[in-house]
Amino acid sequence: MLSMSTPETPSDPSPINLNAAPGEPDFPTIDQIVDLRFADRLPLLCKEWASQRSATPFSIIVMYWAKYFLLFIGGWAFFASFADDYPGFFSFDWFFTWDAFQRAVLWCMLYELLGFGCSSGPMNGKFSPLIGGFLYFARPGTTKLSLVPNWPILGGVTRSWLDVIGYVAMVLLLGRVLIASEITPGMLAPALILLPILGLMDKTLFLAARAEHYYTALVVLALAKGDVTLGVAGSQMLWMAIWFWAAMSKVNHHFGSVIMVMMNNGPFFPTWLKSKLFVDEPHDLRPSPLAHWISHFGAATEASIPFLFLFLGHDPLMAGLIAFVATGFHGFIALNNPSGMPIEWNIMMIYGSWALFFMHPEVSVLMLPSAMPVLFAILLLVLFVIPAYGNFYPRHVSFLIAMRYYAGNWAYNTWLFRGDAIEKLKNCKKASGTLAEQLEGMGVDELGVRAAGISAATSRFLHLQGRVLHDAVPHAVDDVDNYEWFDGEMIAGMTVGWNFGDGHLGHESLARVLQPQCQWEPGEVRVISVEAQPLFGPTMKWRVFDVASGPIAEGETQMGPAEALQPWPVGERAEAFHHGSAPAR
């Protein structure tokens, strides 16, 4: 087993002056950078990214926010109008009603299943088309990730007509409830039964529906049987558990680098503030004390929200103040345009803080054990037992199901394709091509396509979790420049139609269903799978495998010492990217 134990200081592995700012004469142009070795260009790309101050083009930000207001919020407002007692849009009396809340939950699930949510658009590698979702889930022959791949009917590696019919039925069932004049438990029951079955047939669907949140909410709505007090109490417990576990997931070494990357990507903070997110830009691109302070403050704020609601939320004024804090917390995340763009989820968390807590200060989750012990027992299992297990044993549970949200500590994968091995993915039926193929189809020139390709790895390395690759890459290939580099999320998004930070979609399970379709030869495709750091655990474990021939190496990286490293490998580690290393034992 390997471990990192020797801190390293910044070093310049290339003959180009890293001290120069982008645009100065001795800083290379992009056409010079693309011709450098991987380990030489990576520090330049990291520096270029750090200097941009707003790494996301403003036009893309406008596109996303137009989607949030017009499609997401507008769609919910449209479906809310079907309620029997709807008073008209401009009265706004309907906004926080129990019926409107139920329709928000249903619309969120449908919206995500259709592909419009957190796996859409350029920020997720989707330029043309802008979504995956139904373009895959409603199309026979596309790749799926069955939890029972060897079973008849439910198994297999590609989507059958039965899979398509099941997905379309789920969409229609949700749509039927949304346009009903009144929502009843009986109307929710078919969707409650069908989604777990679809999850067995393709786990991507269960995750894409954000089942840990919205499916759990549907269970609450159905078991409450129209009792608003029970429904509110159960939903409050769900919201409080999400805040609690999301805060717990930030108890690690990673969150400072998340703040650094997220705020530098965001468009709304001044240059002088962004420069203070780094220890010493451009020489030292680790998160600064300010970035760490913001990360600790954010985690503490998130952790406090559920307990404040629990103990002080019975007072209407305090409930309003706490909801205001929750709004500020999630609003800060949304304005920074975080990776994956899960802004709809943040909007829903804000809405829930007002609709569930501020509007119902008389309701408390403490009533659930006596009022409805069955629902309380189910929620304990789903909201506490399973997430606790997933936090301590992350390899076995999706980061979504374990509620380990945007904290920088996820499982992830790096796919390395030798030569033209990536071309064999054309054997898979899918709606989109590689990033290069999408950009070429949009008329981007060759240099722009190459620049986009080599820049794709930058964000992963800037996060602390990217330091694991300093150890793992030399054990995967003899020279990384002989391979084309793809993040596992991009491969998953392209082949199964959805990707949102879940490394369990892009590891061996994906390789097992792609290999029969693509027939890669040994050595053509290597995958590095990095597992999340367990709660209070010191290391991130990694493994390397060849898609055709199986396991190659495994190891673990000590994350404490990794904090002393720059995002890019230096010295012997940099050279090892181009000379390989013996497999770990």
Single-letter residue type at 571 = G
pLDDT of residue 181: 96
pLDDT digit string (tens) for 352-403?
999 999 999 999 999 999 999 999 999 999 999 999 999 999 999 999 999 9
- Is the pLDDT at 15 greater than 60? The verdict is no
Question: What is the widest separation between alpha-carbon atoms in the chain?
Answer: 72
Q: Tokens standing for 305?
A: 């929200």
pLDDT of residue 271: 83
Please, are residues 583 and 543 in contact by the beta-carbon 8 Å criterion? no
pLDDT mean over 67-93: 93
Please, are residues 531 and 503 in contact by the beta-carbon 8 Å criterion? yes
pLDDT of residue 14: 43
pLDDT mean over 520-526: 97
pLDDT mean over 543-559: 96
* CA torsion angle 326 332 334 340 (round to 10): -110
pLDDT digit string (tens) for 335-358?
887 777 789 999 999 999 999 999
Q: Tokens standing for 1?
A: 């087993």
pLDDT of residue 340: 75
Residues in the chain, how many?
585
As a whole-number percent, the residues of the chain with pLDDT over 70 amount to 94
pLDDT of residue 90: 86
Dist CA 263 CA 268 (whole Å): 9
Dist CA 37 CA 45 (whole Å): 12
As a whole-number percent, the residues of the chain with pLDDT over 90 amount to 77
For helices 289-312 and 255-265, angle between their N-to-C axes, nearest 10 degrees = 100
pLDDT of residue 30: 77
Helix/strand/coil (H, E, C) string of 526-570? EEEEECCCCCCCCEEEEEEEECCCEEEEEEEEEHHHHCCCCCCCC
Single-letter residue type at 36 = L
Q: For the chain, give the mean pLDDT.
A: 91
pLDDT digit string (tens) for 253-304?
899 999 999 998 877 788 888 899 999 988 899 999 999 999 999 999 999 9
* pLDDT interval class at 20 (50, 70, 90): low
Please, are residues 111 and 48 in contact by the beta-carbon 8 Å criterion? no
Among the residue ranges 186-195, 379-388, 452-461, 490-499, the one predicted with the least confidence is: 452-461
Residue identified by tokens 């159960």 is 234
pLDDT digit string (tens) for 158-190?
999 999 999 999 999 999 999 999 999 999 999
- Is the pLDDT at 581 greater than 80? The verdict is no
Q: Tokens standing for 187?
A: 């109307």
- Is the pLDDT at 5 greater than 50? The verdict is no
pLDDT digit string (tens) for 392-445?
999 999 999 999 987 889 899 999 999 999 999 999 999 999 988 999 999 988
pLDDT digit string (tens) for 102-150?
999 999 999 999 999 988 998 888 999 999 999 999 999 999 999 999 9
* pLDDT interval class at 59 (50, 70, 90): confident
* CA torsion angle 264 269 275 276 (round to 10): -110
Greater confidence (52 vs 456) lies with 456
pLDDT of residue 337: 79
